[in-house]
Amino acid sequence: MNPMDLLRSNLSRVRIPEPTNRIFKQECCVSFDTPRSEGGLFVDLNSFLAYGKDHVGWNFEKTGNPVYLHIKQTRKLVAPEDRPSKKPTLLAIGVEGGFDNNEAEYDETHSIVILPEYVTLSYPSVELPEKVRLAVDAILMAEGAERKEQVAAWTADKKQTSAYAMNLQQIDNGVIIPPSGWKCAKCDKRDNLWLNLTDGMILCGRRNWDGTGGNNHAVEHYKETGYPLAVKLGTITSDLEGADVFSYPEDDSVVDPLLAQHLAFFGIDFSSLQKTEMTTAERELDQNTNFDWNRIQESGQDVEPLFGPGYTGLVNLGNSCYLAATMQVMFSTHAFCTRYYTQEPLKAAFEAAPADPTVDLNMQLTKLAHGLLSGKYSVPAQEKDAAANAATTTDTKQEGIPPRMFKAVIAASHPEFSSMRQQDALEFFLHFVDQVERVHSGKPEVDPTKSFKFGIEERISCPSGKVAYNRRLDYILSLGIPLDEATNKEELAAFQKLKMERISEGKDVTNEEIVRPRVPLEACLSTFSAPEELPDFYSTALKAKTTATKSAGLTSFPDYLVLHMRKFVMEAGWVPKKLDVYIDVPDIIDISHMRSKGLQPGEELLPEGGPEDEVQSNKPVANKDIVSQLVSMGFNHLHCEKAAVNTSNAGVEEAMNWLLSHMDDPDIDMPLSQETQCAAIDQSKVETLLSFGFSEEVARNALKASGGDIEKATDWIFNNPDASTSSDMDAATSSTAQTPADAGLPDGGGKYRLFGIVSHIGTSTQCGHYVAHILKDGRWAIFNDTKVGASVDPPKEMGYLYFFERLNS
């Protein structure tokens, strides 16, 4: 059969793309091949997915789709001065309207290829069937899905001014917000907290689809009160443009032009005094940042470039260095190399993937692992250009691989990582291991994140002499840095004296003169285990709140131990500060002494108090003035009390709004004292929760803690995963035996070797740059986006995240 007849016989397998179709034409779905690769790129004219020459045959075997558009790009030899420069209109690199990234220009050729024989027809050609011409024209004219997502991410950061900002009414109820130590007013959440700009209530954010996030208290408060704007605590710094303001009626992140005024109302004030104090600090920080930049990136050092398996750079997609540094370390561990490289062939991952492999986490992690570890893409840039007669370049850099598809999949459930803004490498690491653990929920035996997971046991000692033990699982040890444990106090005192002299002379100290505190890692580890006071602990022995003492230890030692150094703190006056400190980190550490001992002979556990004990002690009391004003309007006294309690005594108007929308509630006439007890006696609700697979005691505790509401009880169980016989961690107990949560986790000796460091350069985790240093093949290597080289002097004292590997005795 001649080629044209063969094409016509396969026309039923050709589709003309619709405007809504995602078209991939820049990168292979299962490898990092592009139109510039040796074999070019093949676009499936049925699914519009692209494949490199080694993988297009797999797609034919899997789908039977025979017709492909082949795209091949060959480098043009154009002098850079011949190219006209355009003025950028968008803060982005390498996208239309953005900054030019001075890429070389390429000639592009197209042809139609029919598998399995790779029969080729030239394109363009008037002889081709119209359907094929229309399909190919549409693909070539369309913006590729890879490009579209990149542009969307750059432009998504443009926020609109809220319609509710200019006339926002604020209620003066005496609320002053401190710079730290916040907690949700309706639950125990201490992160993901939002300050309502109308009444100053601090409440937790929305629950994510996967059960993570907050408990929806901030959005529920909006539904009850109609107060429209809230700002995320932790994002407020003197640079108010970085603050995260959310409008509930507009259901979007917005700009509040009067944010400074709205925050000042609640005592968050950036006065001129603080600004002058900050400029001094900022000047010093700038100086330190320049020093950090050179030290961490090993600028000025003669770094020998490294190539080959395991030494592949990652292209920065626009502030994606947090992802690059973290993933380089993860794929240097035996656990991830084994799972996604040595034991997961690319073809097996592709065959197991859904119809669109670009949205499958397993496929994209396997693609990334093979890209990083095979060595296929880790070659000097000039070797790749040899075919284009451009071997004269002396640059020994590598081009690296762009982790675009992986980033799109891992960020799909996370709005922050989907953006082009810089992110916290710690938050990304935790999100990443959480997502990988989820996809292994049915087969935990091959889950590589298990190697990072360990148990933590907290011992709480109450003045009654009795104790409680709580257990939880974690992936990181987050360590405070005790500056008072610095080993160079004399040099620091001399430096402070010198600095004061220079300031009085109107001069700055030089980089060479700066002395930083040096704190041993051992001192940081001690802060984790050291006893601390719990001021508002509810003791089931004393039936009252008291001050208890808490200490912590590990119930298991993981294969890989990740230490997070808490370098970022919020000072008084809402000034964010990065601790300017060196951590003396030895190559080998021993944490054997940090193993928890569990319940000891002679210790008596706190009695198992029902959650109603604490609920009763915590029970909010209705404001009498609000109640009497509502009663004078003719409302029922009990209803008025409930309205005041449920709006946290915010005011008469709020209570009345609540009342009017809850008049028909079935439990509106139930006394307040009974609301927390009704769950204990409603056996049918207990049975309902038992049918979901929860144990009876967990079901009863959940119903007691949530006032008998099944939906809230279910939420309570998911938010208190380790609650077996208690309402919350205050009374959770355990014995020395490994609980099922600990069972199956790796465990061994407490000696570890340092093998990875993720360092941060910049003033906060939301800006600056991340670099990884990794111990490979007996030497340290630096991974700085696409730059990979032999490290001359790894900055061990400047890490943000430290990765240790257990030494097998």
Residues acting as catalytic residues: 321, 769
Q: What angle do CA 213, 219, 220 make, to 5 degrees?
A: 110
Helix, strand, coil percentages in the chain from 3-state DSSP, rounded to 5:
35, 20, 45
Decide the pairing of beta strands 799-806 and 779-784. unpaired
Beta partners for 781?
A: 774, 790
Q: What is the DSSP letter of 798?
A: G
Please give the structure tokens belonging to residue 644.
């005041």
598: three-class secondary structure by DSSP: coil
Minimal CA–CA distance to 36: which of 383, 389, 312, 384?
Answer: 384
Element spanning 139, H or E = helix 130-141
116 preceded by cis ω (within 30°)? yes
Beta partners for 570?
A: 576
Minimal CA–CA distance to 253: which of 285, 276, 231, 222?
Answer: 231
Q: Is 228 exposed, middle or buried (0-12, 13-18, 19+ CB in 10 A)?
A: buried
CA 153, CA 321: separation in Å to the nearest integer?
Answer: 16
CA 556, CA 766: separation in Å to the nearest integer?
Answer: 33
Element spanning 230, H or E = strand 229-232
CA 745, CA 739: separation in Å to the nearest integer?
Answer: 11
For helices 652-662 and 624-632, the axis angle rounded to 10 degrees is 60
Element spanning 781, H or E = strand 779-784
CA 435, CA 530: separation in Å to the nearest integer?
Answer: 32
Q: What is the DSSP letter of 635?
A: -
Taking the CB of residue 666, how many other CB atoms lie within 10 A of it? 6
CB 175 within 8 A of CB 182: no
From its phi and psi, is residue 465 left (phi > 0), alpha (psi between -120 and 50) or beta?
A: left
Residue 150 CA: distances (Å) to CA of 21, 96, 305, 384, 407 = 17, 11, 29, 25, 11
CB 680 within 8 A of CB 701: no
CA 728, CA 215: separation in Å to the nearest integer?
Answer: 15
CA 440, CA 254: separation in Å to the nearest integer?
Answer: 37
Decide the pairing of beta strands 454-461 and 544-554. antiparallel
CB 205 within 8 A of CB 218: yes
Residue 42 CA: distances (Å) to CA of 47, 118, 383, 398 = 12, 11, 23, 24
Decide the pairing of beta strands 560-565 and 544-554. unpaired
CA 93, CA 111: separation in Å to the nearest integer?
Answer: 30
CB 234 within 8 A of CB 195: no
Q: What is the DSSP letter of 750?
A: S
Decide the pairing of beta strands 588-590 and 50-52. unpaired
CA 32, CA 366: separation in Å to the nearest integer?
Answer: 12
